[in-house]
């Protein structure tokens, strides 16, 4: 039982490049979500999903896309990276006792 | 609208002193509240959930609906308690999203 796994741990992108941040969980949780963490801002919700085939926007969805084809995976796509997307990204899933977070992806856009 | 407020960005105490990290929330429904801890550059770890009423690592938190508060307390701080602490509110039930406060950095001095 690996919990919530995120890859990569670090990434540097050039402005305009695209990439996908991976998130996988092996706990059969229906609910998954993506947050970004910025200094002084706490964590802000980007997108979330309550099950395979169901996604919705959070507080800061612009510039990001998601899909949920399986219960296990919830990738986050940056279509055209911008310096404002420099951040630490966390994926989370929901268990009965609370939310479990991945170890994060530190993204820098130059 | 729902909101979580952590009024202190930084809290600095000496080892052995009592600690209280403040959290106030705004939500018209029945809240589900959490405290998460993040040690340097690591994932968020669940510290407390208001329903469980447990004591984890010596920390406790009581939900006060009248004052809409969920303050985190520890009678005797330890150096290893130094970390970032986030208060979070789930406003959507078992498939709901978390809204975070901006966090309080606790520094415990020897």
B84-95 pLDDT, tens digit per residue, is 999 999 987 767
B-interface mutation test, from A99, A102, A103, most B Cβ less than 10 A away: A99
What's chain B's average pLDDT?
92
Q: Which long-range contacts (C-beta less than 8 Å, at least 24 apart) are formed by A95-100?
A: A95/A27, A95/A29, A96/B94, A97/B46, A97/B49, A97/B52, A98/B34, A98/B46, A98/B49, A99/A33, A99/B34, A99/B46, A99/B88, A99/B90, A99/B98, A100/A3, A100/A4, A100/A25, A100/A27, A100/A29, A100/B46
B-interface mutation test, from A43, A49, A87, A93, most B Cβ less than 10 A away: A43
Least confident range of A39-43, A51-55, B93-97: B93-97
In B, minimum Cα distance to A102 occurs at: B43
Judge whether residue B11 has pLDDT over 90: yes
Helix (H) or strand (E) holding A84: none
pLDDT band at B28 (very low <50, low <70, confident <90, very high): confident
Residue A97 pLDDT: 78
pLDDT band at A72 (very low <50, low <70, confident <90, very high): very high
The CA distance from A99 to B9, in Å, is 23
CB within 8 Å: B34 and A94 = no
Residues A2-33 pLDDT 10s: 799 999 999 999 999 999 999 999 999 999 99
**% chain A with pLDDT above 70:** 99
Tell me what the mean pLDDT of segment A43-57 comes to.
94
**% chain A with pLDDT above 90:** 91
Judge whether residue A1 has pLDDT over 70: no
CB within 8 Å: B95 and A50 = yes
Tell me what the mean pLDDT of segment B81-108 comes to.
91
Tell me what the mean pLDDT of segment B49-72 comes to.
88
Residue B51 pLDDT: 79
Judge whether residue A92 has pLDDT over 90: yes
More confident residue, B94 or A34: A34
């Amino acid at each position: 039982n690996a919990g919530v796994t995120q890859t990569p741990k670090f990434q540097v992108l050039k402005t305009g490049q695209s990439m996908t941040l991976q998130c996988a969980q092996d706990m059969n949780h229906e609910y998954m979500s993506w947050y970004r963490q910025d200094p002084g801002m706490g964590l802000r919700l980007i997108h979330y999903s309550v099950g395979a085939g169901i996604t919705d926007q959070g507080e800061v969805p612009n510039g990001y896309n998601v899909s949920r084809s399986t219960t296990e995976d919830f990738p986050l796509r940056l279509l055209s990276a911008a310096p404002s997307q420099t951040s630490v990204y966390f994926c989370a899933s929901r268990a009965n006792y609370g939310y479990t977070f991945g170890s994060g992806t530190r993204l820098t856009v130059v | 609208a729902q909101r979580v407020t952590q009024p202190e960005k930084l809290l600095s105490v000496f080892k052995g002193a009592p600690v209280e990290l403040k959290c106030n929330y705004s939500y018209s429904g029945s809240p589900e509240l959490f405290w998460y801890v993040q040690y340097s550059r690591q994932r968020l770890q669940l510290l407390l959930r208001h329903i469980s009423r447990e004591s984890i690592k010596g920390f406790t938190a009581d939900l006060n609906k009248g004052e809409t508060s969920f303050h985190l307390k520890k009678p005797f701080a330890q150096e290893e308690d130094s970390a970032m602490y986030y208060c979070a509110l789930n406003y959507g039930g078992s498939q709901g999203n978390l809204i975070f406060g901006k966090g309080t950095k606790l520094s415990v001095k020897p």
